[in-house]
């Protein structure tokens, strides 16, 4: 039975602690936003970075009497920092009225009223709470990033809202293509969801273009040092780079340069330890230079920034249909992302954004970043939808649906690795009856391409689940011996016909494989040999030996089937 919101008479906090910060631009629209949330099921709040929408919207919802709020963030670092800031502003202890949950870490209880989490955590909760009954309000923050998980959530919420009329959904986005979100959540009569525009802080930002002179292979660390010197000896600087390796190179170049006494250089990326991340937000007196990936583009607001140096590059996950490889190349960012980076300065006074590329290069770039679902292999998407029982990918209400060529390529890959079987997903068979349970895959709760870490593989068979420093991630491939466990299909079919109410797991398949293959005369995948104790010992035949990239399957094939055979005989 799914959890329901805790309704015990325990106040979230005193009423004064729920006041909206009057210094933030969103305070001027607080009453308007509260009225729209009260009268509509879906509200889109569009605002520039630093407008206060992330931290103040939960307080507005609590003032309306909402009791259990789920607040999503695209990155773990953002979920932790937002929860800490909310708890500080509301005067409560982190983990009580305000908590957070990310992969491997949970600081929330049943008394928690505002739970900040990554998008992947909320999507994982759909598996055991189909109606999301534990929440009466859901805030999807930074929806403009259009990660795969965000698109899943927006599509699922569109299906869920008619059956949950008490649920309120707030979509927050930068001022990027907000009409698409409003039309996606349009009322049955076609009326788009209401949109509230919240302006950012009004200090002007000067844009300067300083392309390096080296041409196609510029010395970016040297260009960054030159840009920092141009900006003067005082004022905090935020430098956007494409990844952790580039941050280390720039930090070494800045340390070798003479930038004045007391200048502090700090890195900021998703895989950084929490204590190191907190140093960026701590109070300081000397000049500070923050070297960050695009986690500081919209998810986090680094305080006190007067200047921005933009390299115009980021790691963006992209699938190559020709090579069948999911890559993470360094690519130029879109104009919308460049504008977001420039908006990070000018919060405390007039700012300067120094772009290390030409104005012609800026104007030639695409307006928006392509959504992740249009640049990834859909095999993982299909499996995730199958595990969460979200239906056919061709009927799912994505904001921007993939074309049929992508879908066919994903289904072809699944058929190649024997995951779906011949036509298994195409003909509407229950995906849970496939030999491998996909709903047990680890939660993926970071935006793919949001940092220099490679995309987490969908782990189609549990073969590849890594988080290395390599730039490319190999796609799932067959072992040289051919299909995985050639006789598995017959074993599963026999098991399901005899026990239609049970799910055929990998262990059941291992139990039945040797029996089924001996019955039809085929070579069994396990060979038996007597042991001194009289018990049956096993070894793997040469044709099915698995390399070091297949630890999960290799471990299952080492299991002794002696106890399993006795259980099978009792069926």
**Model confidence over 31-48: pLDDT tens digits?**
999 999 999 999 999 987
Is the Cβ–Cβ distance between 433 and 496 less than 8 Å?
yes
Query: For residue 541, is pLDDT > 50?
Result: no
pLDDT band at 214 (very low <50, low <70, confident <90, very high): low
How much is the average pLDDT of 557-568?
38
pLDDT band at 497 (very low <50, low <70, confident <90, very high): low
Percent of the chain with pLDDT over 70: 68
CA–CA distance, 515 with 498 (Å, rounded to integer): 14
Helical axes 53-63 vs 76-90, angle rounded to 10°: 50
- Three-class SS state of 252: helix
Query: For residue 244, is pLDDT > 70?
Result: yes
Is the Cβ–Cβ distance between 475 and 409 less than 8 Å?
no
Cβ-count burial of 490 within 10 angstroms (0-12 exposed, 13-18 middle, 19+ buried)?
A: middle
CA–CA distance, 27 with 261 (Å, rounded to integer): 39
Mean pLDDT over each residue of the chain, to the nearest integer: 75
How much is the average pLDDT of 367-376?
89
Angle formed at CA 375 by CA 120 and CA 246, multiple of 5 degrees: 80
Tokens of 184: 């996606």
Chain-centroid distance of CA 179 in Å reads 23
CA–CA distance, 546 with 461 (Å, rounded to integer): 13
CA–CA distance, 527 with 94 (Å, rounded to integer): 56
CB atoms within 10 A of CB 274: 12
CA–CA distance, 437 with 506 (Å, rounded to integer): 8
CB atoms within 10 A of CB 304: 15
Quick: pLDDT tens for 58-106.
999 999 999 999 999 998 888 999 999 999 999 999 998 999 999 889 9
CA–CA distance, 158 with 400 (Å, rounded to integer): 13
Query: Would you say how long the chain is, in residues?
Result: 571
Query: For residue 333, is pLDDT > 80?
Result: yes
Nearest alpha-carbon partner for 166 in 46, 64, 86: 64
Helices and strands, counts by H and E, the chain = 17, 21
pLDDT at position 360: 95
Quick: pLDDT tens for 172-193.
987 667 888 999 999 888 899 9
How much is the average pLDDT of 500-510?
49
Q: What's the Rg (C-alpha) of the chain?
A: 27
CA–CA distance, 121 with 124 (Å, rounded to integer): 5
Percent of the chain with pLDDT over 90: 37
pLDDT at position 219: 87
pTM of the model: 0.71
How much is the average pLDDT of 377-386?
84
How much is the average pLDDT of 243-259?
92
How much is the average pLDDT of 504-515?
46
Query: For residue 16, is pLDDT > 80?
Result: no
pLDDT band at 298 (very low <50, low <70, confident <90, very high): confident
Query: For residue 405, is pLDDT > 80?
Result: yes
Is the Cβ–Cβ distance between 314 and 264 less than 8 Å?
no
Nearest alpha-carbon partner for 355 in 224, 264, 475: 224
Q: Which residue has the higher pLDDT, 369 or 17?
A: 369
pLDDT band at 308 (very low <50, low <70, confident <90, very high): very high
pLDDT band at 239 (very low <50, low <70, confident <90, very high): very high
CA–CA distance, 308 with 343 (Å, rounded to integer): 9
Tokens of 247: 């941050």
Q: Which residue has the higher pLDDT, 422 or 161?
A: 161
């Amino acid at each position: 039975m799914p959890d329901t919101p805790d309704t015990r008479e325990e106040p979230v906090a005193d009423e004064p602690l729920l006041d909206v910060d009057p210094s933030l631009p969103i305070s001027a629209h607080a009453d308007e936003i509260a009225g729209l949330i009260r009268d509509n099921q879906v509200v889109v709040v569009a605002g520039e970075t630093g407008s206060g929408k992330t931290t103040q919207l939960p307080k507005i919802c609590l003032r309306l009497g909402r009791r259990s709020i789920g607040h999503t963030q695209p990155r773990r670092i953002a979920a932790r920092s937002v929860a800490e800031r909310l708890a500080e502003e509301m005067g409560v202890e982190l983990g009580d009225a305000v908590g957070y949950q990310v992969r491997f870490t949970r600081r929330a209880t049943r008394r928690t009223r505002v739970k900040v989490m990554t998008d992947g955590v909320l999507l994982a909760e759909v598996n055991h709470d189909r109606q999301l009954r534990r929440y009466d309000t859901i805030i999807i923050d930074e929806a403009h990033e259009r990660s795969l998980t965000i698109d899943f959530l927006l599509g699922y919420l569109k299906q869920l809202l008619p059956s949950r009329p008490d649920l309120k959904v707030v979509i927050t986005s930068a001022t990027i293509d907000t009409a698409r979100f409003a039309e996606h959540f349009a009322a049955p009569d076609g009326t788009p969801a209401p949109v509230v525009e919240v302006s950012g802080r009004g200090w002007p930002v000067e844009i300067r273009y300083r392309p390096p002179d080296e041409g196609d292979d510029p010395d970016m660390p040297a260009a960054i040092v030159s840009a920092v010197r141009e900006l003067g000896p005082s004022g905090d600087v935020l430098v956007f780079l494409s990844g952790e390796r580039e941050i280390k190179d720039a930090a070494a170049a800045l340390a070798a340069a003479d930038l004045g006494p007391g200048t502090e250089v700090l890195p900021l990326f998703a895989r950084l330890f929490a204590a190191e991340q907190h140093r960026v937000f701590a109070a300081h007196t000397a000049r500070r230079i923050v070297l960050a990936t695009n986690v500081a583009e919209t998810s986090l607001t680094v305080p006190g920034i007067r200047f921005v140096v933009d390299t115009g590059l980021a790691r963006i996950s992209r699938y190559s249909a020709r090579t069948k490889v999911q890559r993470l190349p360094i690519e130029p960012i879109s104009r919308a992302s460049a504008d977001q980076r420039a908006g990070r300065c000018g919060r405390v006074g007039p700012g300067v954004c120094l772009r290390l590329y030409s104005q012609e290069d800026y104007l030639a770039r695409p307006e928006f970043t392509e959504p992740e679902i249009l640049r990834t292999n859909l095999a993982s998407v299909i499996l995730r939808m199958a595990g969460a029982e979200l239906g056919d990918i061709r009927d799912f209400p994505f904001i921007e649906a993939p074309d049929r060529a992508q879908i066919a390529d994903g289904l072809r890959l699944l058929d190649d690795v024997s995951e779906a079987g011949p036509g298994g997903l195409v003909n509407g068979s229950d995906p849970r009856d496939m030999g491998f349970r996909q709903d047990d895959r680890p939660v993926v709760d970071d935006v793919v391409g949001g940092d220099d870490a490679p995309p987490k593989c969908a782990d189609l068979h549990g073969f590849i689940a890594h988080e290395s420093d390599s730039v490319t991630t190999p796609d799932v491939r067959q072992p040289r011996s051919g299909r995985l466990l050639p006789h598995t299909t017959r074993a599963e079919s026999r098991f399901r016909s005899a026990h239609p109410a049970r799910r055929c797991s990998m262990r059941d398949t291992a139990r039945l494989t040797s029996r089924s293959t001996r019955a039809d005369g085929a070579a069994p995948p396990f060979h038996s040999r007597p042991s001194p104790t009289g018990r049956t010992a096993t070894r793997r035949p040469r044709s099915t030996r698995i390399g070091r990239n297949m630890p999960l399957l290799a471990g299952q094939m080492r299991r002794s089937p002696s106890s399993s055979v006795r259980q099978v005989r009792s069926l």
